[in-house]
Amino acid sequence: MIKNESKINDDAMVNVRRSATEHRATWTGLTYVKACEAGKAEFAEKIIREAVAATGVMQGNEIKEACPNPDDLSVFGDTFLPPDAVKTFELEYVTKNADKLEMHFHYCPLLKAWQKLGFDEAACEKLCDIAMDGDRNIAKAMGYDFELGDTIANGCPTCHITYSKKK
């Protein structure tokens, strides 16, 4: 059972960011579901993953250029996730140092969009994993390792995401 309820609801900037994120997730979700309905699930997943991965590489390159010290993962975290983004995802830092950025996300606006559309849990899980290709490729562009642990879409209370220096 997916539980994805926000606790921060009275912050105007956070609400704007969440609305924009939900809108983007709606496009992706409907594209995937409509392709599945047309019997093109595998093709749609391949194309959407490629597009999300390319977006992640572009975003990672932008972050790397803007990051004052890309060798320090705590500095990367501050560049990648400014305070409004932290609030948007109700993010908690578990570890934030030069070598590792481990986070728990307590809310996901992408998932909320898919839930509002009435997608079943399997579709939400698939779309979540596809969306994570963006984060995987941000890590790749930054030269970091990436680990996705538990996710809200898989019924866990939080999403566990870790960026770390290459071993």
Q: Is 55 domain-assigned? A: yes
- Residue 46: domain span: 12-165
Whether 41 is in a domain gets the answer yes
Contact 131, 109 (CB under 8 A): no
Q: What is the pLDDT of residues 19-75, one digit of tens each?
A: 999 999 999 999 999 999 999 999 999 999 999 999 999 999 999 999 999 999 999
Phi, psi of 8 (to 5 degrees): -95, 110
Residue 4 — pLDDT band, cuts 50, 70, 90?
Answer: very high
Instruction: Look at residue 95 and tell me if it is in a domain.
Output: yes
- 3-state secondary structure (DSSP) of residue 95: strand
What pLDDT, on the 0 to 100 scale, is given for residue 87? 98
In a domain, 18, yes or no: yes
Q: Is residue 6 part of a domain?
A: no
pLDDT of 130 over the 90 cut: yes
Number of domains in the chain: 1
pTM: 0.95
CA distance 42 to 36: 8
Distance separating alpha carbons of residues 133 and 87, to the nearest angstrom? 22
Residue 86 in domain: yes
Is 4 part of any domain?
no
CATH of the domain at 100: 3.30.1380.20
Q: Is residue 121 part of a domain?
A: yes
Q: What is the 3-state secondary structure (H, E, C) of 45-94?
A: HHHHHHHHHHHHHHHHHHHHHHCCCCCCHHHHHHHHCCHHHHHHCCEEEE
